[in-house]
Chain A
Amino acid sequence: MALDDRKSDFTFVGTRPNRPDGLDKVTGRAKFGADAYAPGMLHGAILRSPHAHARIVKIDASKAEAHKDVKAVVTRADFADVPFKPGLEGEFYNVLENVMAGEKALYDGHAVAAVAATSALAARDALKLIEVEYEVLPHVTDVDKAMAPDAPVIREGAADYSVPEGMHPNVVRYHESGHGDLEAGFAEADLIIEDSFVTEATHQGYIEPHACLAILGNDGKGELWCTTQGHWIAQKTCAALLGIETSQLRVTASEIGGGFGGKTTVFIEPVALALSRKANRPVKLVMTRSEVFRATGPTSSASMDVKIGMKKDGTISAAQGIFRLQGGAFPGAPGDMTAMCAFAPYNLTNVKQIGYDVMANRPKQAAYRAPGAPMGAFAVESVIDELCNKLGLDPVEVRLKNAAHEGTKASYGPTYERIGLVETLEAAKAHPHYSAPLKPGQGRGISCGFWFNHGGETSVSLALSEDGSAQVMVGTPDIGGSRASMALMAAEVLGIPYENIRVTIADTATLGYNDVSHGSRVTYASGLATIKAARHAVEKLCERAAAKWGIPVDAVKWENGCAVPSGPNAGDFDPMPLADITADMGRTGGPISGHFEATPEGAGVSFGTHIVDAEVDPETGKTSVTRYTVIQDAGKAIHPTYVEGQYQGGAAQGIGWALNEEYIYGEDGRLQNSIFLDYRIPVASDLPMIDTVIVEVPNPGHPFGVRGVGETGIVPPLAAIANAVSNAAGVRMKRLPMSPPRILAALKDNG
């Protein structure tokens, strides 16, 4: 993607029209996962393990099968025999093992059988007729305990080549990177702080539970409607797990009521398909909230040690981190991501990071917004804050002094292209929030954050109609207003109004492959593909105009929605509007469409800086976040309102993670708080107005300069809030969530 075709002045991009799906959503017309129905439809329900770790000795479903309302019962035997492969190479095996237990139930809530019956109530009641004999095994849910020599082994042989010899079999991947000479770096430091930090697992907390409607015949042809961030991965995975051809399964993504990474894989979809195949009827499956908490993918819990050396002038002379991430009973915890992101904002001479992927008896972790990065930032930015406090240095100045910039060799290896961290820090320093006085009992916290961003496989198709309107088919489910952004980018290229463009999330049968809506990639990659597809259509529009005028095609250019002669020598013709060309396109060469398929590689890394004020009640340990400002580089904000929405959303979820959200396991290894009453997500009144500043340092890898904005916004909050709370309370908080009992206990310990 060359720099020289990048626009800097825009007509539509940067405006704030209403999103095309807005009316549907506020009127209830939008169809979400649970809103699909089919003639003869059955209702499914899933039987789940009450044990954290148990061998499944026997499943007797005969009573359920004999019940008049029950049309099918499935267990693991009803799925394809995906061959065992250890580690992430065997991800299909891991997903199969997760959606339906094989020899062992690996966590509280693990699916062991499922039924389809004539009503949802009958299905639920039929579960009670299935008799499962378990041999309960020792369990472990804590990451440090899972690595200890005496920990129960969750699965032998799951570790890959990267794990050093002698480690417990629950450690399944190892990452190490960095550069420089740590020893020499620490020797140069005037102050070294080394400390340990812990974060609990949190759930994405999307409001819409997983839901699907599945139809699969004995001929191997199927239809699946589901709430997902990526229907092609659902298609590919379900086809593998059911042993059918990928192309024979057509998957349609419903409107999605939140995903945040948690809907990038499948949980109930293969089960509904297996039930449908067995019953030969459509089957609908809808999770309860409790099932969502127990059996979908929360993020990892983490245990971390960070050591940083700083000179008196604020220069970081050396930094090292060890990050242990627990990702449930399967490989996949993003210990490598945590390690790679932890020091990424800084220009460091001596740095080393180690990440561990550790299994425990918990649900298989799934992505959650910049997976792995927020925990590492919490540990690293807390130590930097403490160094600033001890050395009497300004936390923004210290970060500016050490900030990575274009040409910096990143802590994880590559050399940065044009990046915007310094600009976010300068904006923080200049922001009125940073200089506003604090009241007694309040503290202020700063943190930076980094995320890679992602490109991914992308296909877009654009078709023009005779009346001059356009339809755009993209394959990335709209999780943040992306249809509006696509329409704005298409409008910019075509030169027709935003309102004349309809953007549809195409199903798997009507468009080429698309990677999931994850990695902050949609506005970047689907946006790039939309621009390229629109340009492809514009080429054809110019050809038609050239033919009508009888001049060469290279004598025609596209301007403000019209074909015009490219210069005075090309001829004297009036501008020919798009609708004049499409009006008779059937007779001038046929329908005009544009297409683009690629795996764009220039996503452009992203940085943000957050400023938080918090107030702690010294008598109860209760925290109020009194002021919050998010500053982040968007490259170019296509639809600024939805960019701000992403910033605010990241901060809101970060406030929950920092203060009250956590997975709480009992001694028996069962999840104690699988409802929203006890899994304490913030409510609206818990949040201050979250101010936003959009910094725009264009990404050279996108025609309009876009950098993804969806994930970076959740990286700084844990650290920024912890720094604010620690400064308010006068005691360093090293464990999340900073719930009132923990803060009160820390205040007492501190005298």
Chain B
Amino acid sequence: MDLDELYQEVILDHYKRPRGVGLREPFEGESHQVNPTCGDEITLRVHVEGDTVADLSYENVGCSISKASASVLYELVNGANIDDALARLKEFTALMNSRGQGEADEETLEDAVAFTGVSKYPMRVKCALLGWMAFKDALVRAEAVPTPEGGAE
């Protein structure tokens, strides 16, 4: 088992020095997500100005993968155009669900490329996606994107 592939330097760095952490005002949408298998939690807020994610703020408890992933999410979507942010969300989700077969585009995913190895560990994919699911839900709650089929929950 190649642990270095999972615990890449860039992941450990985001874990030890998370970017953008803390809950801030103002915000229009807030989401609380829990991983029931391990008890990891995140509360994440989005502040939307026009078509831009003006601020993304969060508090979380969890493992290195889930905390680093939230930090990387912050770097990728904070200040981004909502459509671009959604495109990255889609790209990252697809990468995580690729069971190690996905190829990450460093142009768009930047540090999130380091999570490619995580997709080989099915037990950890949920950790990596926790913050991203909260982001998606917070955008819906902020009414920045249409409510998906079946509602926001």
| Chains A and B bind each other | no
